[in-house]
Structures are given as C-alpha cells and as structure tokens.
Amino acid sequence: MPRINWTHGYVRNNDAALYYEVHQSTQEEAPILILLHGNGEDMHIFDKHICPLLPFYTVITMDTRNHGKSSAGEQPLSYQLFADDLFTLINKLQIGNFLILGFSDGANTALELALRHQERIAAMILVGANISVNGLTPIARKGLQLLSVGKSLRGVFSKGTKADKKLVRLMLEHPNIDPRQLEKITIPTLIITGEQDIIRDEHTELIASSLPKARRVVIPHTSHFVLKDAPEEFDRLVFEFLMEDD
C-alpha cells in the first residue's frame, strides 16, 4: 500500500504507549474516518481497505493497547479503557467531529466511546459488535473457555492470531452494556454482520433495535470476518453508508 502523506507516532494514556497512523486524504479538508481492529489483531487488518478510501477520507488507525505496536500497560483490559485510549488520541490530534468504523472488539470500543462522547461522532459503522458476553454463540463461548485454559480453537480469532490469555479473558468478561443505554445514542449507525457470525443473530437484532438511528445488513455466506470473506461487498456497503451520511 503506497504511503502518500502518511504520518505515524505514539500517544501515551497513563500506563500505555499507543501507536497510530494517519493516512492523509488526497482531498483537502476531507472527513476523518477512524478504523478500529478486533481482538488479537492490529491495524493492518485494514490495509487493503485504506487506499480506496483516501480520495474521500483521511483515515486514522490505531493499535489497541496490548496489540500490535502498542504496549499493554498494567490496567485490566476493558472496552471502556480502549475507548479512553482512543479519546486521548483524538484530542492529541485535535480532531473535532469524525466517522468511526469498528470491527469486532473495535465495534465494542466504538459503542463505549459513543456512550461518552457521541457529540464528536458524525456516523458509526459496527461490524460484528456485541454488548454482552451472552451475545456470543454458545460454540464461540465454549471455544473461548477452552482457549483460556490453553486449548486451541479456530474461528474465534483470525488466521495466524496468537491467543493471548488477557485478550481471551476480555471477551469472556466484557462488554456489559445495558441495551437501554443504547437508546441515548442518536448517531446514524450501520451494523454489518456475517451470516455465520459468532454473535447471536437475536443479540445483533437487539443492538440494532436499541439504537434509534441504526440499520442492519447481513452479508450472506460469511463468518465474523466479513471484511476478509467478502471484501468487495463490505467496501461497497461502507462507501454507500458513508456517502449517504455526507
């Protein structure tokens, strides 16, 4: 991926150093789009999706603490903490309003950020989000429990991901958002899930129905990793929603 007008750096939030990259749009004063990766990954999961966005958006990516080039810190991991980290970065870069797309854990982080600072978010895309540990399918939960005691399982993390016990515990203990809280979030929201997602269908429907301005799209024949399983369809849905919001 060519790096045109590309900058990077670290921001510190309390006990962790957080790595970020800014991919400047070829358009002056383009809207800012923040991309948040999932559990056990890093920002590079979005590498193939960034270039098509740059004619229209300045794209910012960040490695969540305990992922990629970001340090772990000493605090217990939670999506509230991840949201605080992101808000620190947003303020450091002097960003006003922005768009946000979160995949999996990144979607959970986006929701936590919206609960605290929705006035800064113009629109939101949630890919494979959940608001409760009970949102996972029974098979996915059982798999995480096996991972927590050292067993291996395919399908919960992306290919080649190493299962970190702290990250497994995060998914077994968090998030814990009351769906009634979502009624306060009035941001235009697109919810994307795979037909064979590890998030229960009825749970995703609960999220979509609880957010006043949300709509849901299910991509057929895909897993939780819809952006890898159907990249062209995924990008089309993202562009259509963002352009509609503009």
pLDDT greater than 50 at residue 59? yes
User: Over the stretch 79-110, which tens digit does the pLDDT of each residue have?
Assistant: 999 999 999 999 999 999 999 999 999 999 99
Query: For the chain, which residues make up each domain, given as ranges?
Result: 6-132+176-245
DSSP letters spanning 79-133: HHHHHHHHHHHHHHTT--SEEEEEETHHHHHHHHHHHHHGGGEEEEEEES--SBG
Tokens for 81, please give them: 């903490």
Tokens for 206, please give them: 């609960």
Q: Are 48 and 231 in contact (CB under 8 A)?
A: yes
pLDDT greater than 90 at residue 28? no
With the CA atoms of 202, 208, 211 and 214 taken in that order, what torsion angle do they form, in degrees rounded to the nearest 10?
Answer: 180
Tokens for 96, please give them: 């006003």
Q: What percent of the chain has pLDDT over 70?
A: 91
> Is CATH 3.40.50.1820 the classification given to domain 6-132+176-245?
yes
Q: How confident is the model at residue 21 (pLDDT cuts 50, 70, 90)?
A: very high
User: Over the stretch 206-220, which tens digit does the pLDDT of each residue have?
Assistant: 999 999 999 999 999
Residue-averaged pLDDT of the chain: 91
What's at 184, amino acid-wise? K
Mean pLDDT across the stretch 188-205?
97
Tokens for 32, please give them: 């800012």
Q: What is the pLDDT of residue 143?
A: 84
User: Over the stretch 127-177, which tens digit does the pLDDT of each residue have?
Assistant: 999 999 999 999 998 888 877 666 444 445 444 444 578 888 899 899 999
pTM of the model: 0.91
Mean pLDDT across the stretch 68-86?
96
Q: What is the pLDDT of residue 159?
A: 47
pLDDT greater than 90 at residue 188? yes
